[in-house]
Amino acid sequence: MTTAEFDVDTALSGTGDGTYGAVLTPRWNIADIANGGYVLALACRALARALDREDPLTVTGHFLSPAVAGPATVEVEPLRAGRSVASGQARVLQDGRERVRVLGAFGTLGSEGGRLTRSGDGPPDLPPPDECPTGGAVGPDGTVAPISERFDLRFHPDSLAWSRGEPSGRAEVTGWIRLRDGRDPDTALLPLVVDVFPPTAFELGYAGWVPTVELTVHVRGRPAPGWLRCRTRSRVVGSELIEEDAEVWDARGALVAMSRQLARLPRPGQP
Amino acid sequence: MTTAEFDVDTALSGTGDGTYGAVLTPRWNIADIANGGYVLALACRALARALDREDPLTVTGHFLSPAVAGPATVEVEPLRAGRSVASGQARVLQDGRERVRVLGAFGTLGSEGGRLTRSGDGPPDLPPPDECPTGGAVGPDGTVAPISERFDLRFHPDSLAWSRGEPSGRAEVTGWIRLRDGRDPDTALLPLVVDVFPPTAFELGYAGWVPTVELTVHVRGRPAPGWLRCRTRSRVVGSELIEEDAEVWDARGALVAMSRQLARLPRPGQP
């Protein structure tokens, strides 16, 4: 039996008719809300099992209401079973309310990762983890979030300028990330990993809650054991919405996940 | 009554209970298959109507079976109606078979477009349209696709090197695009526009059918009338899958849409 926190907290009960039981724990919370990547990862567990394919290739979650610690149900509807790709839908429900709806395509990935089309386009350049400051997600009330205790986070010294009171104006965060309990990364963990870094919007001077409307993750390879490197970046700031792209690289330097989310910006004057 | 092809070919019948009738025309085909962006745009029309919000903010389609010319039904399930964002699901069916399942969040966009976070990150640098060669999507049999007759496409002289028998190895295509019948772009058209350029995989030496598994479009602003500029780009080539990002800029230089799709690469030896 595994005792890794992530595996315990995404464990499913159920007999294979496509409906699974789960219990969300508060360990992946920011303030009192379950991290969106955690809920998406739970849905992916159910999809992988129901579709009988190990790896999420592309998954999209639309976040409909805030998930909280406690029992949850995941309902999977298989949509298509092809030779290399199987697709399905998952709904995560609590007390009859839908928290997130997910569409996903699953398959079997190699361990080699993808080939980059452009040279000079590799992982972010980072000092060794020991030379990078730690840090973590902070809730709207300023307290460190429980999810930050799950991960060992080592940010580039130039990242998180906002936490020193001087937002850089550069909507980018880079750093190292791994689970603190020593569990190695796999393709089940990656949909959570892409959603752990603090919002890039903070570097643009926004403060407060930046709720995810939609998060799409492409998993491109099975990660090697050890540290992951992550870069999050935003390009276009609208009046109400911002996109945030994340890339995750494994210890061999392979790009193993790419994600994009659309999030709502805090309204001016809203803490 | 509009006579613009795109509006005629995405017209919906139905009385507002969430089920709409439509007729796919062959005008947006590649070979005998309806372009995925066209079918996604049709689903967006139904979602916008059922959710009573004009603009798609983020929409994801999973392509389950090839859509063809002929009658179709679009079934919308509203999921959430918030102050600024409303979410829903759409299914496009033909003869009882699901062609595409869509999740979308809709709202109201301004006409100003988004603000770029980085300078030097603007639209692709292109010669004027009159100095750019035309070109179009080509079906697996080498014939020009009907969809290419709908659009006026003017590619950067360095793009489409594969069509001259010398794939560049650079997975990028840039060019101008507008509808040939003079209909100006709007947020309803953009989910189609992102899927019109030939696959970037052709520049990497692949030939044949590159079917879309999943396509996500973020619409970030209402486009100004006139030409659009588009850049498509791929970064990671797996053994079976490739991602393709598109950006669409309007005549004022505003970034009005960003998309990413995951597509299956042709198998070696498959034409």
Distance, in Å, from the CA atom of A235 to the CA atom of A241, rounded to the nearest integer, reads 11
- Going through B51-109 in order, the beta strands assigned E by DSSP cover 55-63, 70-81, 86-94, 97-107
Give the pLDDT confidence of A31-40 residue by residue, as tens digits: 899 999 999 9
Arithmetic mean of pLDDT, A191-201: 96
The C-alpha of B139 sits at a distance from chain A's nearest C-alpha, in angstroms, of 23
Name the average pLDDT for chain A: 93
pLDDT tens column, A143-171? 778 999 999 999 999 998 988 899 999 99
Instruction: Record the tokens describing residue A177, joined without a space.
Output: 């990330």
Between CA B48 and CA B62 the distance in angstroms is 18
| Contact across the interface for B105 and A239, Cβ inside 8 Å | no
**pLDDT at residue A239, as a whole number:** 87
Q: How would you label B31-62 residue by residue, b for 16+ Cβ within 10 Å and e otherwise?
A: eebbbbbbbbbbbbbbbbbbbebebbbbbbbb
Whether the pLDDT of residue A177 is over 90: the answer is: yes
CA distance A154 to chain B (A): 24
Count of residues making up chain B: 271
Rounded average pLDDT over B101-120 = 88
Cβ-defined contact of A236 to B87 (cutoff 8 Å): no
Using only the alpha carbons of chain B, give its radius of gyration: 18
Residue B200: pLDDT over 50: yes
C-alpha count within 13 angstroms, C-beta hemisphere, residue B21: 5
Averaged pLDDT, B103-121: 86
pLDDT score, position B139:
57
Extended strands (E) in chain A: 19-24, 29-30, 33-34, 55-63, 70-81, 86-94, 97-107, 115-116, 151-155, 172-179, 212-219, 228-233, 236-237, 241-249, 255-264
How large a percentage of chain A has pLDDT more than 70? Answer: 96
pLDDT of res. B234:
96
Residue B270, class by beta-carbon neighbours within 10 Å (0-12 exposed, 13-18 middle, 19+ buried)? exposed
ipTM comes to 0.96
H or E stretch including A190?
helix A190-193
Mean pLDDT across B77-93: 96
Per-residue pLDDT tens for B210-254?
999 999 999 999 999 999 999 999 999 998 999 999 999 999 999
User: Does position A140 have pLDDT exceeding 70, yes or no?
Assistant: no
Average pLDDT over residues A199-210: 93
Q: Say if CB B234 and CB B252 are below 8 A apart.
A: no
Cα angle vertex A154, ends A151, A155, to 5°?
Answer: 125
Phi, psi of A245 (to 5 degrees): -100, 140
Instruction: Assign A271 a pLDDT band (cuts: 50, 70, 90).
Output: very low
The pLDDT of B196-209, averaged and rounded, is 93
| Sign of the Cα pseudo-torsion (A129, A133, A139, A145, in order) | positive
Q: For chain B, where are the alpha helices, taking DSSP H only?
A: 5-9, 36-51, 146-150, 190-193
CA-angle at B59, arms to B56 and B61, nearest 5°: 140
Residue to substitute from B214, B231, B237, interface A, most A β-carbons within 10 A: B214
**pLDDT band for position B1 (cuts 50, 70, 90):** low
Contacting A residues, span 53-112, partner chain B, CB-CB under 8 Å: 57-58, 60, 62, 64-65, 79-80, 84-85, 87, 89, 98, 101, 103, 105, 107, 109-110, 112
What's the confidence (pLDDT) of residue B31? Answer: 86
Comparing alpha-carbon positions, the chain A residue that sits nearest to B101 is A103
Interface of B with A in 182-211 (CB under 8 A): 204
Please name the residue that has the structure tokens 């005792």: A3
pLDDT band at B268 (very low <50, low <70, confident <90, very high): low
Task: Output the CA–CA distances (angstroms, integers) from residue A92 to A14, A217, B78, in the order listed.
Answer: 14, 17, 16
Tell me the CB-side half-sphere exposure of residue A139, using CA atoms within 13 A: 15
Q: What average pLDDT score do residues A8-24 get?
A: 93
Weakest-pLDDT range from A42-51, A154-163, A188-197, A222-231? A154-163
Question: Is residue B64 over pLDDT 50?
Answer: yes
* Cα torsion angle, A161, A162, A165, A169, sign: positive
Q: How far apart are CA A65 and CA A63, in angstroms?
A: 6
Give me the pLDDT at residue A65, please: 98
- CB-CB contact of B92 with B42 (8 Å): yes
- Which of A55-69, A222-236, B116-130 shows the lowest mean pLDDT across its residues? B116-130
**Contact partners, residue A3, CB within 8 Å, separation at least 6:** none
Give the pLDDT score at A267: 76
pLDDT at B271: 44
Q: What is the mean pLDDT of residues A58-81?
A: 98
A196 three-class SS: coil
Residues 6+ apart with CB under 8 A from B232: B172, B173, B174, B197, B200, B244, B245, B246
Return the higher-pLDDT residue of A84 and A90: A90
Please give the average per-residue pLDDT across A47-60, as a whole number: 97
Calculate how close chain A gets to B181, using CA atoms only, in Å: 31
Q: What is the three-class DSSP state of B256?
A: strand
The confidence band for B44, taking pLDDT boundaries of 50, 70 and 90, is: very high
Which residues 227-266 in chain B show a CB within 8 A of chain A? Answer: 234-241, 243, 255, 258, 260, 262, 264
Q: What is the pLDDT of residue B15?
A: 72
Q: What confidence score (pLDDT) does residue B110 get?
A: 83
Local confidence band at B11 (pLDDT 50, 70, 90 cut-offs): very high
Check if the beta carbon of residue B113 is closer than 8 Å to that of residue B255: yes
| % of chain B with per-residue pLDDT over 90 | 81
- pLDDT at residue A270, as a whole number: 47
Contact between B200 and B244 under an 8 Å Cβ cutoff? The reply is: yes
Distance to chain A for B64, nearest Cα, Å:
6
Q: Grade residue B270 by pLDDT with cuts at 50, 70 and 90.
A: very low
What's the mean pLDDT in B133-152?
80
Q: Looking at the complex, report in whole angstroms how far the Cα of residue A192 sits from the nearest Cα belonging to chain B.
A: 19
Average of pLDDT values for B80-94? 96
| pLDDT at B127 > cutoff 60 | yes
Categorize the per-residue pLDDT at A142 as very low, low, confident or very high, splitting at 50, 70 and 90.
low
- Contact flag A114-B237 (C-beta cutoff 8 Å): yes
Q: pTM here?
A: 0.96
Q: What is the pLDDT of residue A121?
A: 82
* pLDDT value for A135: 79
Contacts of B107 in chain A (CB under 8 A): 240
